[in-house]
C-alpha cells in the first residue's frame, strides 16, 4: 500500500505526541509537515515540542509555526493537563533543529498545491490555521483528500459541560472549517473518551524502546485521565481511524458549531432536524469505537503485535 500523505496541524501536547510518534513510525502514513498552533500551550512551546519530536524520531519532517491565538477570542491554554512545557515529564535533549522560516499557512498552501496526490489534513488542535488557509487560499480546498479531526463530540464536553477543548478554543475557526465543504471526519469525545489505555499497556510501551519510553514518561504526567482508571489519548484516535477505520462506526450527521453565548464551542448534531428534512448531514462522525481493539492496536504499534 502506498503511504497516505498527511499534514498534522497540532499543538503538542502529550496526546498529540503519541499521535505523531505513531504516524511517523507507521509505513502506511507519510507525514509531510507538522504545522503548529497555540492551544494546549503557547505556540512557541508547541513548535519547540514538535521539533523535539522530530529530533527524537530522527525524522526528516519540517516543522512550521502557525497561529498563536484563535481568530476572535483569547486563547485559554491547559498547562494543568499537559504541563507548563506542553510535554512535561521527559527530559528532552537540547534541540538543534529550527522551524521553517515561513508561516505554516503558507507552507501548507504550497505543499497542498504542489502535491501530486491529495493530502489529508489531520487537525488535532484548534482549527485556526486551517480556517485562515481556507480564507486566504480557497483553491486548496479541492486538492485536499479529507480532514480528519479530533474535536467536539455528540454530548458533553471536557472544557465545560458542553464544549470540547479544541473547538472551545476557536469555535469561529472550527465553524469555518466544518462548513468549508471539504470532506471531514470528526472524532469527538464520544469516541475518544472510550479509547483508553491502562498501566499495563503503558508499561509494555515503556519497555519497547526510546520512543515508547519517552511517551510513557509523558503519560505519567498527563492529566487526561489516569493510567489506573484509563488514560485518554484523544489525538491518537485520529491516527487509529486513518489506519484502521474498521475499528470505528461512522454516520453522516449534521454538525454545527455554536460560536457565541453560553454554549460557545459546542458541536451540535440535530438529528431531529435531519429527520424532518430541515438539515443535511455534512460531517462523517465517528459514533463508536471498539475500545479493546483500539487498546491492542495502540500497544501493538510499539510492541510489534500489529502490522506497521
Would you please indicate which residues are annotated as catalytic (active-site) residues?
Answer: 234
Binding flag, residue 204, ligand BDR (CB under 6 A): no
Question: Would you give the binding string for ligand BDR spanning residues 56-85, x where CB under 6 A is met?
Answer: ----------------------x--x----
Is residue 178 at the binding interface for ligand BDR, with CB under 6 A as the rule? no
Separation of first and last alpha carbons in the chain: 11
**Integer Cα distance of 265 and 235 in angstroms:** 18
- Report which of 61, 36, 60 is spatially closest to residue 48, judged by C-alpha positions: 36
Binding to ligand BDR by residue 46, rule CB under 6 A? Answer: no
Segment 8 to 37, residues that bind Ca ion, using CB under 5 A: 11, 13, 16
Rounded to whole angstroms, how far apart are CA atoms 54 and 51? 5
* Residue 160 Cβ vs ligand BDR, minimum distance, rounded to whole Å: 12
**Segment contacting Ca ion by CB under 5 A, of 69-77, 130-138, 230-238, 295-303:** 230-238
CA angle, 145 as apex, 51 and 66 as ends, to 5°?
30
Give the distance from CA 283 to its chain's centroid.
17
Nearer to ligand BDR, 21 or 81 (CB): 81
Near ligand BDR by CB under 6 A, which window of 163-171, 172-180, 214-222, 280-288?
163-171
Residue placing its CB nearer to ligand BDR in the complex, 40 or 217: 40
CB of 21 or CB of 78, closer to ligand BDR: 78
Restricted to residues 25-44, the positions that interact with ligand BDR (CB under 6 A) are 40
Is 13 among the residues that bind ligand BDR (CB under 6 A)? yes
255 counts as binding ligand BDR under rule CB under 6 A? no
- CB closer to ligand BDR, 85 vs 158: 158
**C-alpha closest to that of 18 among 234, 243, 286:** 234
Q: How far apart are CA 146 and CA 125, in angstroms?
A: 16
* 124 scored as a contact of Ca ion (CB under 5 A): yes
Question: 165 touches which of Ca ion, ligand BDR, none (CB within 5 to 8 A by kind)?
Answer: ligand BDR
Whichever of 158 and 254 has its CB closer to ligand BDR, that residue is: 158
> Which residue is associated with the grid cell 429527520?
275
Q: Which stretch binds ligand BDR (CB under 6 A): 92-100, 131-139, 164-172, 204-212?
A: 164-172
For ligand BDR, which residue of 4, 45, 204, 234 counts as binding (CB under 6 A)? 234
In the complex, the smallest distance separating the C-beta of residue 11 from Ca ion, rounded to whole angstroms, is: 5
Return residues touching ligand BDR (CB under 6 A): 13, 15-16, 40, 78, 81, 124, 150, 158, 164-166, 234-235
Amino acid at each position: 500500500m502506498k503511504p497516505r500523505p498527511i499534514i498534522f496541524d497540532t499543538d503538542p501536547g502529550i496526546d498529540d505526541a503519541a499521535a505523531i510518534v505513531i504516524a511517523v513510525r507507521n509505513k502506511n502514513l507519510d507525514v509531510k509537515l507538522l504545522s503548529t498552533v497555540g492551544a494546549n500551550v503557547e505556540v512557541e512551546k508547541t513548535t519547540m515540542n514538535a521539533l523535539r519530536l522530530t529530533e527524537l524520531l530522527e525524522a526528516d519532517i519540517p516543522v512550521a509555526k502557525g497561529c498563536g491565538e484563535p481568530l476572535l477570542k483569547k486563547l485559554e491554554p491547559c498547562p494543568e493537563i499537559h504541563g507548563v512545557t506542553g510535554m512535561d515529564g521527559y527530559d528532552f535533549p537540547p534541540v538543534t533543529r529550527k522551524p521553517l522560516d515561513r508561516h505554516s499557512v503558507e507552507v501548507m498552501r504550497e505543499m497542498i498545491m504542489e502535491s501530486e496526490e491529495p493530502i489529508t489534513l489531520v487537525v488535532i488542535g484548534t482549527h485556526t490555521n486551517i480556517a485562515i488557509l481556507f480564507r486566504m487560499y480557497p483553491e486548496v480546498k479541492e486538492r485536499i483528500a479529507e480532514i480528519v479531526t479530533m474535536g467536539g463530540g455528540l454530548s458533553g464536553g471536557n472544557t465545560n459541560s458542553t464544549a470540547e477543548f479544541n473547538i472551545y478554543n476557536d469555535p469561529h475557526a472550527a465553524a469555518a472549517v466544518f462548513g468549508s465543504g471539504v470532506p471531514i471526519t470528526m472524532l469527538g469525545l464520544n469516541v475518544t473518551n472510550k479509547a483508553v489505555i491502562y498501566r499495563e499497556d503503558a508499561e509494555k510501551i515503556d519497555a519497547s524502546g526510546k520512543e515508547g519510553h519517552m511517551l510513557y514518561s509523558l503519560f505519567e504526567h498527563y492529566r487526561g485521565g489516569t493510567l489506573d482508571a484509563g488514560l485518554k489519548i484523544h489525538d491518537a484516535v485520529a491516527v487509529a481511524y486513518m489506519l484502521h477505520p474498521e475499528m470505528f462506526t461512522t454516520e453522516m450527521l449534521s454538525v454545527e458549531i455554536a460560536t457565541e453565548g453560553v454554549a460557545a464551542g459546542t458541536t451540535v448534531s440535530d438529528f431531529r432536524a435531519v429527520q424532518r428534512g430541515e438539515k443535511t448531514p455534512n460531517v462523517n462522525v465517528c459514533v463508536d469505537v471498539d475500545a479493546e481493539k483500539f487498546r491492542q492496536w495502540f500497544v501493538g504499534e510499539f510492541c510489534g503485535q500489529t502490522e506497521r
